[in-house]
A = this chain, B = another copy of it.
């Protein structure tokens, strides 16, 4: 669950960028939450456990930097609140139309995905590799 296990931090050495305590905190926070495609606010709250003085602006600047470096990427959102995810190709998402949460599924093909998530309580309204509908918590 350390940063090195998932992301290629060698990119920091190669660049003239500094891996400051704040950026480490943001990175650790993101990695802890990456399964749920966290918002900047969620990352901020988690990052403060590692670096209590970090500001929200630094969190945004760090996330932007990571995106720019290709370490992470933004996830598409329906409600205007940015979410972040690990760089993965391809994506298999379920986006809840009510709460905006994003769920990720593994590389199963579409029909399989549909059946799987319906078994888990999702109501699939529109489905391709990205699925829209209502998640169990919102039904």
B126 pairs with A128, CB closer than 8 A: no
B127 pairs with A76, CB closer than 8 A: no
B130 pairs with A89, CB closer than 8 A: no
Chain A at the B interface: mostly helix, strand, loop or mixed?
Answer: loop
Bitwise interface map of A from 51 to 92 toward B, beta carbon under 8 Å scored 1, else 0: 000000000000000000000011111101110000111111
Is A129 on the interface with B (CB-CB < 8 A)? yes
Q: Which residues of chain B come closer than 8 Å to A82, judged between CB atoms? A: 78, 80
Pick from B89, B127, B132: contact of A126, CB below 8 A: B89
Which residues of A pack against B, CB within 8 Å? 73-78, 80-82, 87-92, 95, 110, 125-130, 132
Residue of B nearest to A82 (CB): B80
Q: Which residues of chain B come closer than 8 Å to A126, judged between CB atoms? A: 73, 87-91
